[in-house]
Chain A
Amino acid sequence: MKTAVEPYLFLVIFCGVAVVFPVIPLLMAWMWRHFFQPSKPGASKNAIYECGLDSTGEARVQFKSQYYIYCLIFLIFDVESIFLIPFAVAFTGLPVGAFIAILVFLFLLIEGLVWAWSKGGLNWVN
């Protein structure tokens, strides 16, 4: 009679090997440090910053989250300037309708700017 082999047994063995294999070198390194290599900590070695310069000031810099409104407004106007450049380049060859269309576009832009300004979106500190 054949003994029933657990089908997942090899997975258990595999997991065991996967754990033991990295643990052995780590253990050897730890033993080496413990028995041979003296620990030599120091102020610069334990320093957080590691580019050679002394760190100055606070690591925890706080900035206002309202900054994102400022960024969004900048982004919108930045993209819209890209629409205006081709218009300016082809200005002399354009019909009156295109001129009026771009005037409407500019009006919407200025209206948006006035709205954002009046809402206090351009103020750095609210």
Chain B
Amino acid sequence: MSEQIDEGLKSELQKQGVFVMPLEFLYNWGRRNSLWPLQFGLACCAIEMIAAAASRYDLARFGGEVFRPSPRQADLMIVSGTVTKKMAPQVVRLYNQMPDPKYVIAMGACAISGGPFKQGYNVLKGIDRYIPVDIYIPGCPPRPEALLHAFMELQKKIDNQKLTGPGQARHLDPSQPGEYPVPAFGAHDLEPPANCSVWQPPAVERGGDA
């Protein structure tokens, strides 16, 4: 969009005190500076999340200190900790109940892959099996600086999101679902074990004949 404005004309106007910018820039600017996270912690990563929101690390510098206790008022879900199979349906349902646009940060090894508890019978091997994750932070648990870094990366991502055309933001694309199916308890595992539209099992590469 910004290519449509001639750079010379833009700088000339700027000298006269007229600032020309695409609507996309204004929209993304507003979105990225008022991210309201959902106040919900699952395990030890949540302690680091609390530290990031408190005075020493001060998430408020990035406009993200307004932790909301209701999903209806939240833009950002920080999955902070181990997602057990008991908790996974609730996490997905909370994600569904958040209004668009919504973003997800998977915080720590557990939220990404199950982490040290991956072999556990009741641990979900990554929340990205059910909901689309925007930013992954490695660490066990990640330090508050890592969460701040993830926050800044998410802001960069929001800054680059398109309002129209191919590759437009998920919440503006009518073909993208606003809700993802909530898994239920089956006889042996969650049913379905993963949401295929979001996550595909990685292709196993067998070694050669050697």
Contacts and interface: CB of A to CB of B under 8 A. Distances in A.
A37 B172 contact: yes
Contacts of A43: 179
Contacts of A56: none
B177 A50 contact: no
Contacts of A50: 70-72, 97
Contact of B90 (A36, A37, A41, A52): A52
A38 B163 CA distance: 12
Interface in A14-70: 36-38, 40-45, 47, 50-54
Nearest to B179: A42
B41 interface: no
A45 B96 contact: yes
Interface string B86-130: 000111011011011000000000000000000000000000000
B171 interface: yes
Contact of A44 (B163, B171, B172, B179): B179
B201 interface: no
A52 B92 CA distance: 8
B207 interface: no
A38 B170 CA distance: 10
A47 B92 CA distance: 14
A36 B97 CA distance: 21
Contacts of A36: 163, 172
Given A36-B163, A47-B97, A52 B179 contact: no
A38 B179 contact: no
15 contacts: A36-B163, A36-B172, A37-B171, A38-B172, A40-B100, A40-B171, A40-B178, A40-B179, A42-B178, A44-B179, A45-B97, A45-B99, A50-B70, A50-B71, A50-B72
Interface of A: 36-38, 40-45, 47, 50-54
Interface of B: 70-72, 89-91, 93-94, 96-97, 99-100, 163, 171-174, 177-179, 182
